[in-house]
Amino acid sequence: MEPSAVETSALGRRYGRRWALARVNLQVARGERLLIAGANGSGKSTLLRVLASLLAPSIGSARVFGHDVATEPSAVRARVALLTYTPGVYEDLSARENLRAQLRLLGRDDAPEALLERVGLELRDDPVRGYSAGMRKRLSFARLLMQRPDLALLDEPYGQLDPEGFKMVDGLVAELSQAGATVIMASHMVERAGALCDRGVLIDQGQVRWEGPGPQTARAWDAAHGGGR
């Protein structure tokens, strides 16, 4: 039997004396779309970074497509792409040059223009330093699509974007899903993201407090936080 896309067992991660994740048990099937909701500092980003193998678990284990994130980071990274709040680009290069540099590192010579058009960025040659936050976010998405991931980890995918951008994210998530990728996103836009996902989990103080169908995540959040979103 093929291993799950993600499987964590009593996963914990601490920063100094503070536990950001505490005994998280999570299983995500291949091709599933999962929403992780939680207040600021609840552990969402830490969980995504552990799954991306950028942070090692303090206790427990996490496996991505059967590969342990702590001992097989290369195998994990070959199949995972992570979207974070930082754009992950070189400020002095243009969007096109940034993508081309990364494509070259992947040993590919496909043109980056199609990716830029897909995320709604104009084909300009000015450096990224002059881009708005929303344009940087779109470029981050282009970088993520470029990697053709089997598992896409999206940390606040709607952040910094305008309403048109929200629609773009919805479309990209559907596109990734249709291509067979597993999508895990952490978002404060619980209603919108929940409607896109098969399943949702609520995290509080590093622990999974609720798990259920994606579209019901908003209601669970309201119940847990008295309607404050």
Partner 1 sequence: MIPTRPGLVRQIVAVIHKDLLVEWRGQARLLAMGTYAVTLLLLFSFAVGPDTKTLQQHAAGYVWLALLSASTMTLTQSFRVETEAGALEALLMLPVDHRAIYFGKALANTALLVVLACLVMPVAAVLFDLSAAEGLYWLLPPIVLGAAGLAGPGTLYAALTARVAAQQLMLPLLLFPLIVPALVAAVKSTSLVLQGDPMGQMSSWLIVLASFDLIFWSLSGLLFAKVVEE
- Judged by CB, which is closer to partner 1: 124, or 209? 124
Instruction: Decide if residue 68 touches partner 1 (CB under 8 A).
Output: no
Binding range to partner 1, per CB under 8 A, among 90-98, 157-165, 170-178, 213-221: 90-98
| Interface residue with partner 1, options 20, 69, 89, 142 (CB under 8 A) | 89
Distance between CA atoms of residues 72 and 58, nearest Å: 16
Instruction: Decide if residue 78 touches partner 1 (CB under 8 A).
Output: yes
Instruction: Decide if residue 97 touches partner 1 (CB under 8 A).
Output: yes
Binding range to partner 1, per CB under 8 A, among 36-44, 75-83, 170-178, 212-220: 75-83
Of the candidates 227, 81, 222, 79, the residue with the CA atom closest to the CA atom of residue 153: 81
Cβ atoms of 53 and 31 within 8 Å: the answer is no
- Nearest 5°: phi and psi at 36? -110, 115
| Interface residue with partner 1, options 25, 66, 106, 130 (CB under 8 A) | 106
Helices (H) and strands (E) in the chain, counts: 8, 10
Where helices occur in the chain by DSSP H, the ranges are: 44-51, 73-77, 95-105, 113-118, 133-146, 163-178, 190-196, 217-225
The token duo for 76 is 């994990």
Instruction: Decide if residue 127 touches partner 1 (CB under 8 A).
Output: yes
The footprint of partner 1 (CB under 8 A) covers 52, 54-56, 73-74, 77-82, 84, 86-93, 97, 101-102, 104-107, 127-128, 136, 143, 147-148, 150
